[in-house]
Structures are given as structure tokens and as C-alpha cells.
Structure 1
Amino acid sequence: MDAYDEEPEALSGPEGPAGARRAGNPGTPDEDSGSEHTESEETGRDRAAEPAPRAGLAALSPRYRLVAGGALAVVAAVAAVHLGMVFLSLAPANPVSKQHAKAVEGWVYPEFEQNWKLFAPNPLQQNVAVQVRAQVRGGDGEPRTTGWTDLSAEDGAAIDGNLLPSHTQQNELRRAWDFYGTTHGTDNRPVGVRGALAEQYVRRIVVLRLLRDEGLDRAGTIERVQVRSRTVNVPPPGWSREKVSTSPAYRVLPWWTVTGDETEAGAR
């Protein structure tokens, strides 16, 4: 009986059951895993505290960063000068390109020569006004000549302040006059097969404008019309040394006989 009574005590031992003693042992796997987890957290914090490696210019020493920055500034300045020189060589003649013509040519030619233009055609540097007058035969049978009517000024007044100007107001008269100028010489004689067409086009436009806007149909019958252009150079800016004449130059065309079809079309 005594032997059986001692077995439970031997199994439990002085510190309690064997299972409890193993769970509290410092060398057990549970305690080892906890220490490993703590070490990994400390390693992660150390890595996060370390600064990120530098790249690019920041990785260089201050002296080399200064040299690299200066080189980039020189490259940017040369590129800007090159673009400016090429722009001036392609742009229409202007006060800046004329003043620095030798420098532009020395930079561009022959290595960087371009075979195209920035604007086609060149922007206008003149104000061109198309004017017309008519010979009208009244009810008494006597002809009379009207004064000059500035059709371009009327178009300009209609466009000024108009958010949606019509294509006719902007381009019809201007394009018709350009068409006439390219198909006629300075003596007003046709230089191509489209000369007669250009003359007819301009004549129909001015007759229509006289009948519609000036009300000449009430004054009598339009028998003839005469067209002229008034050209004035745009003055250069105040800082430019360029000198241009601002006196108007006139190109007066001969009298044109108006046909019945043109007056009827204008009346409609």
C-alpha cells in the first residue's frame, strides 16, 4: 500500500506535474520562437531607420554635383540659343532678324540650314483696304459718280466686337482681292487663264455690296464701277530702328462695265 501511495507523488515531483514543468522551462520551443520574433522586429526597425541610398546627382560629392550642374546649365543655354537662331532663320523678316542677320546666318549656315518656312504664306505687314465707287444713271437720265466707299472698313466694323463673325465678313473681299492680285500684273492685265474669272469675281462682289449695303438700286442703275486698293505699311515698334514709309499707296483699276446679270443678282 505504501508503494502505491508514493507513485503519484513521484510522478508529480516537487514542482508539480511533469507537463507543467516542461511548459515553464526556459529552454522550451515556445520561448525560443518568442525571442526570434522580438529579434526580427528589432532588425526591421533598424532597417527602417537607415537612410535610403542616394541616386543621381545626390550620390555625388558636393564638388562633383557643382560640376554636373554647371555642365547641364551650359547644355541648356546652348540648346536655347540654337532654337532661337533656327526660329529667326525660319520666321518672316522682322526687326530682330534684320538686326542680327549676320549672327543668325553664321550660326545656321551651312550645317543647320532648313528648307522650310515657319509661316506660309508670310504674315501681312501691310493694311490693305479695298474701295469702290460707281457711276449711276438716275431717273433723269443723267449719270453721276459716287464717292469712294471703303468696303474693307465696313467689314472691319462688322467684325469688331462680334464673337461669331461670318466667313463672308472675314474673308470674301480679302480673298477676292488677293486672287485678283495674283492673276494680274501691275498694269492690271491678266497674266494667266484665270484673270478674267478673278475680274468677274471682284466685280460681282462690289456690285452686290453697293446694291445691298449702300442702296444704290434706289438711286438709279449702276452702269460702271471702279475699284482701288489703299495700302499702308504697318509701322514698326518703337524700339526698332527700322524705317518704313507710312504714306498710303493706291492701286486704281480701270472702270468696269456692269452687266445686267450682275445687277439682277445684286437686287435678289
Structure 2
Amino acid sequence: MAAVRVWSKPARAVLAVAGAGLAACTLAFLAALFLHVAPENSVSREYRAQLNAVVYPEFEQNWQLFAPDPLQREVTVSARVQTVADDGRVTTRDWHPLSAQDLAAVRHDPAPSHLDQNLLRRAWDLYASTHPDGDGPSPAGSRGRIAEQYLKRIALQRIGRAGERVLQVQLRVDTATLAPPAWSQEQVDTSVHSRELPWWPVQDEDWRGLE
């Protein structure tokens, strides 16, 4: 007959304190998530900084409690570069599918990377929000300039130098509204709308930290 383990009083006390601590931390975490997605109230306004520190970036929610707003568009980002060889020959490379690269990394992965899921999407959301009227040059020091640099560096990191000096980079975004389910009577335009950004010159500073 196997001996029955008898925990000492100090051991039982440690286990009880540890269990209570884990339960308290779990409840506090769930409460922070609830306040983050719940409609704004006096508590969430008072502790907004603390709630954001808990939620971002690992546990970000793309919806609000009682008002879900899932993504209903498919956004595909591609990029290409123009390079110059040692003999002075300039070449425009083919489009590099940035979004497809992320999708391939996420598909069939039970624990996909947060970067693969959100880095490129959030970069484009930032750019679109700061350039609602077109893709002209942004005032120096504005959030629009930061958004441009962010997108540019993502594209350069994904494509690389390709063995030649990169002169400039261009991005293209194809957007299509997802078709409603077969049982829905909703009529939507599912055609693809393309938006080509201007060519952005590439300087040595743009590669800092990418290689």
C-alpha cells in the first residue's frame, strides 16, 4: 500500500498563499480586460494608463464589449524596390507580397506570432489614418512622417538589399470588402481597390537596425 503524503503545516500554508495569489492575479487580469473592452466609465478613465499597461501589446482586443466590430475587409500589402548595380544599371524589382508572407507564417501555426498577425496591419492602419486625403508629403515631424518611415522600414526589412544598392521603395495596398454569408441579403462591393503609394527614396539611415 502506497504511503500517503502528509503535507506539513508550513507547506500547506505556502500552497494556500500561492493558490490565493494566483487566483487574485487571474481575477485582476480578467478585470483589466473587462474594463478595457467595456464602454468607457469612471473607473476605466481613472486607471486608463494602468489598463493599457496590462493589455498592450500582447493582449490587445480589436473589439468593444456590447459592440463587436470585427474586420470586414481584406487588406493586402505589397512592396517593390528600385535598385542600381555597380555598372549603373537601374532595375525595378517585382512586387513582393508582404501580407502573403505573414499569412503563410500564421496559417497552421497553433501559436502564431503577434508580429506576424498585427505588425504590418497596424502599420498600414496608422498610415491610412494619417493620410486620409492622399499620399502627398507629410509635414516634417508629423505622425504621418512617422507612419511613412514605419512602412518603409518594414518593406526594406522584408525585401532586403538584393545584392545591390536600393534607390527607392514603393508600396501597393489592395483592399476588398469580404463577401457576406450566403444566407445574408446584404449587398456589398467586393471588387478590389488598389492604392499605389509614391516612390520613397531610401537612404543608408533607413537600414539602421534592419540588418
Structure 1 and Structure 2 fold alike (TM over 0.5): yes
Work out which of the residue numbers 151, 158, 163 in structure 1 matches 2:105.
158
Call closer, same or farther: CA 1:162–1:117 in 2, change over 3 Å: closer
| Aligned-partner Cα distance in 2 for 1:126–1:135 | 30
| 2:166 is the counterpart of 1:222 | yes
Residue type of the alignment partner of 1:163: P
Residue type of the alignment partner of 1:204: R
Query: Which string of whole-angstrom CA distances, capped at 9 and with x for unpartnered residues, describes residues 192-220 of structure 1?
Result: 93111111111111111111xxxx432x1
| 2:87 is the counterpart of 1:143 | no
Cα distance, 1:119 vs structure 2? 3.5
Give the TM-score normalised by the residue count of structure 1: 0.51
- After TM superposition, the structure 1 = structure 2 runs for residues 62-81 of structure 1, keeping only pairs within 5 Å, are none
Equivalent residue, structure 2, for 1:208:
157
| Aligned-partner Cα distance in 1 for 2:199–2:98 | 17
Residue type of the alignment partner of 2:179: P
Give the TM-score normalised by the residue count of structure 2: 0.64
Query: Which string of whole-angstrom CA distances, capped at 9 and with x for unpartnered residues, describes residues 150-182 of structure 1?
Result: 100110011001122222111111111111111
Cα distance, 1:229 vs structure 2? 0.6
Misfit runs of 4+, over 4 Å: none
**Identical counterparts, % of pairs:** 40
| 2:67 is the counterpart of 1:119 | yes
Residue type of the alignment partner of 2:117: Q
Higher relative contact order (Cα pairs below 8 Å, separated by 6+ residues): 2
Aligned residues: 146
Work out which of the residue numbers 164, 187, 193 in structure 1 matches 2:142.
193
Residue type of the alignment partner of 2:162: D
CA contact (8 A) 1:126 1:232 kept: yes
| Aligned-partner Cα distance in 2 for 1:145–1:229 | 18
SS in 2 for 1:230: strand
| Aligned-partner Cα distance in 2 for 1:179–1:193 | 12
Work out which of the residue numbers 213, 224, 245 in structure 1 matches 2:189.
245
Residue type of the alignment partner of 2:107: D
| Aligned-partner Cα distance in 1 for 2:111–2:71 | 23
* Coordinate RMSD, CA, aligned: 2.0
| Aligned-partner Cα distance in 1 for 2:133–2:94 | 24
Equivalent residue, structure 1, for 2:126:
179
Cα distance, 1:245 vs structure 2? 2.0
SS in 2 for 1:265: coil
- 5+ residue gaps in structure 2? 1-63
Work out which of the residue numbers 199, 205, 208 in structure 2 matches 1:255.
199
- 5+ residue gaps in structure 1? 1-115
| Aligned-partner Cα distance in 1 for 2:79–2:67 | 31
Q: Which has the higher helix share?
A: 1
